[in-house]
Amino acid sequence: MSTFSPESPATDSPSPNPQYARRSIRLGTRGSALALAQTEIVRALLERQSPPIPSVVEVVHSLGDRVPDRPLAALESQGIFTEALEHALRESRVDAVVHSAKDLPSTLAADMLLVAAPGRDDPRDCLVTAGGTSLRDLPPAATVGTGSPRRVAQLRLLRPDLRFEPLRGNVDTRRRAALSGKVDAVILAAAGLRRLGLLDRHAAVLSIEDCLPQAGQGTLAIEIRAADQRMADIFGTLDRVYGSTRACLIAERAVLAHLGAGCQAPIAAYAEILPDQSLLLRGCVAAMDGRVVLRASRQGRVEMAAEIGRTVAEELRSQGAGAVLATAEGEAT
């Protein structure tokens, strides 16, 4: 099994214009422990610039945070965690927003810009249980908590006997549901567990082959106003430092965009840079009952990331992805 570690800068950070260090950047974020931890990662990157760029954190509560008991698949999922943050940007209450890239709608509004993707952590999913049990060793008909159609669809292919229950809340809340016995297991992103110091003996990492990740999983994304040149210059510097992340994110998000799907559709997309420096993208669309699983992949030059994503989406559509997604949407409403 491959191992993953947070991506390190490809080169030393170029120095931004010294005038940019004079005023603190207001970073917007959700208020969860994970969102705040991710924002601190970005703050540290800004502090490492020469000269250091100061920043302050502004917490913005989203619709997804205000209705924690409703399954995400039953809500209007496009932008559920981002709309309030973008509103704060438009009102100039914040200068930039730190997202989990997987929460971003596949297409941004014309006045918004995804300016940087400063590094990727482990993109895989984890099974969390009280005893650190693997997926294959879960007892028959075990109950697994997750609000992700993508995870349900793929895991039903491997373990059709499992029972899945919608489960929302922050990372610690969902993790405690498994450790307390409320459910037998939960599925969480490895990156989130690592960033919170919770990737421990209770977590069994699932392979990429068993559960292809969500587009953007493990990746940070910085969103700004498209017309804000100061922020574009500052965060463009960070984006240039992290060589492979942006291309992989572009390819993965292109799959979602060309399938016309949101972040809660049963779609997986994962891109990686191979040793020969080419980009390999794998995509998957799966029926919620696990009986239909469509897969496609394409390899090509890094600079063709968007075209590679479009090609993978077209291949999935030719296999019947449209009908699978329409059925999944009906099941969620």
N- to C-terminal Cα separation, the chain: 37
Q: Do 310 and 258 form a contact (C-beta atoms < 8 A)? A: yes
The reply to whether 103 belongs to the active site is yes
Task: Please choose, from the candidates 92, 21, 99, 24, the residue with its C-alpha nearest in 3D space to the C-alpha of residue 56.
Answer: 24
Residue corresponding to tokens 């947070």:
6
Residues 208, 93 contacting (CB under 8 angstroms): no
Contact between 283 and 312 (Cβ < 8 Å): yes
185-189 and 143-145: which strand pairing?
parallel
Nearest to 330 by CA among 287, 292, 293: 287
In terms of Cα–Cα distance, which of 269, 215, 265 is closest to 77? 265
How far is Cα 119 from Cα 10, in angstroms, rounded to an integer? 10
Sign of CA dihedral 206, 207, 211, 214: positive
Catalytic site residue from 65, 69, 95, 103: 103
Kindly list the distances between the CA atom of residue 253 and the CA atoms of 102, 126, 190, in Å, as whole numbers in the listed order: 9, 22, 20
**Residues identified as active-site:** 103
